[in-house]
Amino acid sequence: MSQQFDLVVIGGGPGGYEAAIRGAQLGMSVACIEKRVHKGKPALGGTCLNVGCIPSKALLDSSHRFEATQHDLAVHGISTGDVSIDIATMLARKDKVVDGLTSGVAALLKGNGIVWLQGTGKLKANKVVEFSPLDGSAAEDIQAKNVILATGSVPINIPVAVVDQDRIVDSTGALEFAEVPKRLGVIGAGVIGLELGSVWRRLGSEVTVFEAMDAFLPMLDKALAKETQKILKKQGLDIQLGAKVSGSELTADGVNVSYEQAGEAKTAQFDRLIVCVGRKAYAEGLLADDSGIKLTERGLIDVNDQCLTSVDGVYAIGDLVRGPMLAHKAMEEGVMAVERIHGHAAQVNYDTIIGVIYTSPEVAWVGLNEQEAVAKGIEVKTGQFALAVNGRALAANETTGFVKFVADAKTDRLLGMHVIGANAGDIVHQGMIALEFVSSVEDLQLMTFAHPTLSEVVHEAALAVDGRAIHAIQRKRK
């Protein structure tokens, strides 16, 4: 007799393992299937913990500290002399952080009585999951009362720059450079490309970023995108917009890149090239022909607002479905799916999903930007306030950036918050909470913010929406 579970989760990334844990908390018998092997060991945590969010942030932090030690301590009266970076030690620290978190997830599954099946899973008819073990032993069918599909995504490959994980790498390979490339090319000026480009630029690389689109970070509020581009350019990132890469050639010294820009054919030479042109859903071998699962025109799994597929009792979450490819979105969708299975009326609020770019300074946003609100026919009012005059920012020498609010001019309802500056990824959560509670701008204006803190800029930006900011001269409004 085959194994039977109340819930089988295919995929052990952030969305999958959180769904499995919540299912166990609610009393379900749960199996989580995960095939990933990271550096020779089976590993939970998906792309995010193993080769994405976490290791990249470890390197971002190391590179930021290196640059700060070189250039930013003198103003505090701290002298350091010559400063060097040991790349091997930096990478070892990154790996240690990853190992600690992935082993922690394994402990959480074990502690919650979840069966971790190491291998692949394929959904067949009637919620039967075919499990194929990593060790090559015979596949077996598992009967599930409910199934959650959570297999995530993989980097998109392009024929003009074929990844060999040596000279030409994807986002995974860019985490493993054994030495700092003197000349580094990055294809794609999206979130991942800018973050990885920033890491190696701070460590000493000459970085050129190629972006086929003419607009820089078009999903951002225009004020935020403009400021981000200006800051990154000042930091030394050479961002080439409207630059479509047409080919690449490996040489004895590195990689030659051919591209077209403004109708002109150009070339550039690099020691290493990172390809960061986006990610695509990973569903290889996931669905049997008789699974009954419907796909969208884009090849994603078709789901409703609660992530239910065309098959009752089968849910799909995260990068497999519509919406931004973000770990925190997958996590909440996983929990929502389990709650729905259990009979609870759970619902993710997709209007308050936060976006963050972990450059230095960070860039973060939630809700509508000004252009999106206007496109919806909303009469808007906005307020913006700079960190440059904030006491805590000045004391910390972190004065770059601003906070901007977008609100409905007629109702005063908050529509969006946009931040660039130190700790932007944390500060923006204040706007997310306000949006969740359908706050007005006046609600934020009437709150007391601790002094001196960076969050006082949030208060001032809210006041600025109505021309009331205290620590800036405001134009008189009629």
Q: What is the CATH classification number for the domain harbouring 452?
A: 3.30.390.30
Does any domain span residue 162? no
Predicted local distance difference test score (pLDDT) of residue 397? 95
Q: What pLDDT band is residue 356 in, cutting at 50, 70 and 90? A: very high
Q: What is the pTM of this model?
A: 0.96
Does any domain span residue 471? no
Rounded CA-CA distance 457/464 in Å is 10
Instruction: Indicate if 301 and 371 belong to the same structural domain.
Output: no
Strands (E) in 35-75, as ranges, are 37-38, 41-42
Predicted local distance difference test score (pLDDT) of residue 253? 87
Taking only the tens place, the pLDDT of each residue in 409-466 is 999 999 999 999 999 999 999 999 999 999 999 999 999 999 999 999 999 999 999 9
Number of domains forming the structure of the chain: 3
Q: What is the CATH classification number for the domain harbouring 139?
A: 3.50.50.60
CA torsion sign, 445 to 447 to 451 to 454?
Answer: negative
With a pLDDT cut of 70, the percent of the chain lying above it is 99
3-class secondary structure, 257: strand
Taking only the tens place, the pLDDT of each residue in 129-148 is 999 999 999 999 999 999 99
Instruction: Indicate if 333 and 426 belong to the same structural domain.
Output: no
Among the listed residues 420, 413, 405, 379, the one whose alpha carbon sits nearest the alpha carbon of residue 462: 405
Predicted local distance difference test score (pLDDT) of residue 318? 98
Q: Is 451 assigned a catalytic role?
A: yes
Predicted local distance difference test score (pLDDT) of residue 2? 77
Rounded CA-CA distance 179/184 in Å is 12
DSSP state of 283: -
pLDDT at 476 over 80: no
DSSP of 378-417: --EEEEEEEGGG-HHHHHHT----EEEEEEETTT-BEEEE
Does any domain span residue 19? yes
Instruction: Indicate if 383 and 418 belong to the same structural domain.
Output: yes
Taking only the tens place, the pLDDT of each residue in 119-129 is 999 999 999 99
CA torsion sign, 390 to 393 to 394 to 400?
Answer: negative
Rounded CA-CA distance 105/113 in Å is 13
Q: Region 31-39: what's the mean pLDDT?
A: 97
Q: Give yes or no for a contact between 188 and 243, defined as CB atoms under 8 angstroms apart.
A: no
User: Among 71, 451, 459, 471, which one carries the catalytic annotation?
Assistant: 451
Q: Give yes or no for a contact between 95 and 3, defined as CB atoms under 8 angstroms apart.
A: no
- Structural domain that includes position 307: 4-155+280-348
pLDDT at 102 over 80: yes
Q: Region 14-41: what's the mean pLDDT?
A: 97
Does any domain span residue 476? no
Q: What pLDDT band is residue 340 in, cutting at 50, 70 and 90? A: very high
How many other C-beta atoms lie within 10 A of the C-beta of residue 285? 13
